[in-house]
Amino acid sequence: MDPSEIQKLADLAMIKIDESQITEVAARISDVLALVDELQAADTTGVKPMAHPLDTVQRLRADEVTEVNHRDEFQAIAPACEDGLYLVPKVID
């Protein structure tokens, strides 16, 4: 992993990585990728891919409204609210 790839990943994940740490982060991510490479060396011929490590299926719930309005509680811990809306730094499309 070169530093520019690390920077791109950081941007996508919205994580700030200090310039001085990039070399170290690159090395650590490379170690993880090496581990993945090792796993990929295993022979999986004839093994059906799984979407999830648990060998079971999703249970579905009935379509019923059971949640009630807890807006006041949620907004009590929000940094900024107005007219029932959560306020966030201005986002422009």
Partner 1 sequence: MTWETVIGLEVHVQLATQSKLFSASSTAFGAEPNTQASAVDLAMPGTLPVANEQAFRYAVMFGLGIGAEIGKESVFERKNYFYPDLPKGYQTTQLAKPIVGPGIVEITLDDGSTKQIRIHHAHIEEDAGKSLHEDFHGMSGIDLNRAGTPLIEIVSEPDMRSAEEAVAFAKKLHGLVTSLGICDGEMSQGSMRFDVNISVHKPHEPFGTRTETKNLNSFKFMEEAIALEVERQIDILEDGGEVIQETRLYDGDTRTARSMRSKEEANDYRYFPCPDLLPVVIDDEYIEAIRASMPELPEARTERFKQQYSLNNYDAGILAANADISAYFEELTKLTEDAKQSANWIMGELSARLNADDISIKQSPVSAAQLAGVIERTKDGTISSKIAKQVFDALWAKEGSDADSVIESKGLKQVSDTSALEKMADDVIAASPKQVDNYRNAEPDKRPKMLGYFVGQIMKASQGQANPQAINQILLDKLDKLL
* Contacts with partner 1, residue ranges (CB under 8 A): 12, 14, 51-52, 54, 56-67, 69-71, 74-75, 80, 82-93
R_g of the chain computed on alpha carbons? 22
CA–CA distance, 88 with 47 (Å, rounded to integer): 47
If the CB atoms of residues 20 and 79 are measured against partner 1, the closer one turns out to be: 79
**Closer residue to partner 1 (CB): 20 or 63:** 63
Nearest approach, Cβ of residue 52 and partner 1 (Å): 5
- Helix or strand run (H / E) with residue 10: helix 3-12
Kindly tell me which of 45 and 52 has the beta carbon lying closer to partner 1. 52
Sign of CA dihedral 37, 39, 45, 46: negative
Q: Is 59 helix (H, G, I), strand (E, B) or coil?
A: coil
CB of 35 to partner 1, least distance (A): 17
